[in-house]
Amino acid sequence: MVFENLHWTRYPVEYRDRFLADVEAAAKTFPDATFLLKPHHTGRWLTWRYKGRLPAAPNLIIADPKNPIWEPYTAPSLIKAADAVITTPSTTALDSICMGKKAAVVAYDLPLPLYAPLPIIRDFLGWEKFIRQAVSE
């Protein structure tokens, strides 16, 4: 489960591009895992505002909240179904931990001292490490 949060436009374009590339690379690296990319219901940056190439892989699903199939599924319901959560800096990380899920925050170059107790992803190797640990437990 991967989340894009409401405040996506606050991040530099380099962060957003890297995040999308790493989501795609992670899905391709772990073809037996399903990656559900969930845009925030309100922000919908990826499914509404973004005009670039969407990440794609056979095991990568982008859950557009405007699609009637996905509209009823909010973050809490999807977190419950997830094995692990990777998110942009947001309360989704904290919600996931409170629900007993493994969670990591993608920081790259952003200083995120408040999230320090959680795994902080700084590069694609961080994605790989977190996912390997999550699927092996």
Asked if 104 and 120 count as a contact pair (C-beta separation under 8 A), the reply is yes
CA–CA distances in Å: residue 107 to residues 1, 72, 99, 128: 17, 29, 22, 15
With 0.85 as the threshold, say if the pTM is over it: yes
Tracing tokens 């892989």 back to the chain, one arrives at 57
Rounded Cα gap, residues 25 and 135, in angstroms: 16
How do the pLDDT tens digits run along the chain, 137 residues long?
677 765 677 888 899 899 999 999 999 999 999 999 888 766 666 777 778 888 999 999 998 878 888 777 788 888 999 999 999 898 889 999 999 999 999 999 999 999 988 999 999 999 999 999 998 87
Q: Is 13 helix (H, G, I), strand (E, B) or coil?
A: helix
